[in-house]
Amino acid sequence: MTITDTPAATTIHASELRQLRLEDPRTRILDVRTTSEFESVHIPGSYNVPLDQLAEHVDAVADLDAPVVLVCLSGNRAATAQEKLNSAGKTNLRVLDGGIGAWQTAGGDVVKGEEKWTLERQVRGVAGSIVLASILTSIKFPKARALAGGVGFGLLFSALSNTCAMGMLLAKLPYNRGPECVIDDVLADMRD
């Protein structure tokens, strides 16, 4: 099994990834979740370059000769990373279908650290809290319900555009920052 050199959006299932790692040891797994999420649980031997940092170094990552499988929580951030890397010329690239959750469900080995809320869970918690607070506040100040509408619009826009401004902001919080990702070190390790 190999990763083909096609720029089309392709996925790989957890069982296929296990087989691919056995057949082609050059295959690199690049996890684009936040460092905090990566520290909580990740695939052994994977490399962490959070999506916001990948955007800054997309050309350097695209220059890697090795086939790359992108991983995130569900596949959305990995698909975004795939689009960026394909645009930069990287073709031997796949996205783990269903993300780290699918890998775990399929019985894949993981390295576990301190469990933290995923970025997607944090977005749901913050959005829900804002909506609830604005509805409760609107009992005394009716105009406060507009905030709930704004969050609803933001969530709809997020779904339609497959981006998440709140998630990008939350990713910058200290809670979501683990050890700093030194991209040059990661790239050097991935080249070995």
Dump pLDDT digits (tens) for 7-58.
Answer: 444 899 999 999 998 999 899 999 999 888 898 999 999 999 999 888 888 9
Largest CA distance in the chain: 64
Banded model confidence at residue 102, pLDDT cuts 50, 70, 90:
very high
Q: Percent of the chain at pLDDT above 70?
A: 92
The number of helices, as runs of H, and strands, as runs of E, in the chain is: 10, 7
- Provide CATH 3.40.250.10 ranges for the chain: 11-116+179-191
Q: Which residues are marked as active site?
A: 72
Return d(Cα 12, Cα 47) in angstroms, integer.
Answer: 17
Q: What is the pLDDT of residue 81?
A: 94
pLDDT reading at 2 higher than 70: no
Closest CA to 52 of 163, 168, 159: 168
The Cα–Cα gap between 168 and 122 comes to 11
Q: What percentage of the chain carries pLDDT values higher than 90?
A: 50
CATH topology of domain 11-116+179-191: Oxidized Rhodanese; domain 1 (3.40.250)
Q: Rounded to 5 degrees, what angle do the CA atoms 76, 82, 86 make?
A: 155
Distance between CA atoms of residues 46 and 109, nearest Å: 11
pLDDT of residue 61: 86
Helix (H, G, I), strand (E, B) or coil at 109: coil
- Provide the mean pLDDT of the chain: 86
User: pLDDT tens across 131-168, in order?
Assistant: 999 999 999 999 999 999 999 998 888 888 877 888 88
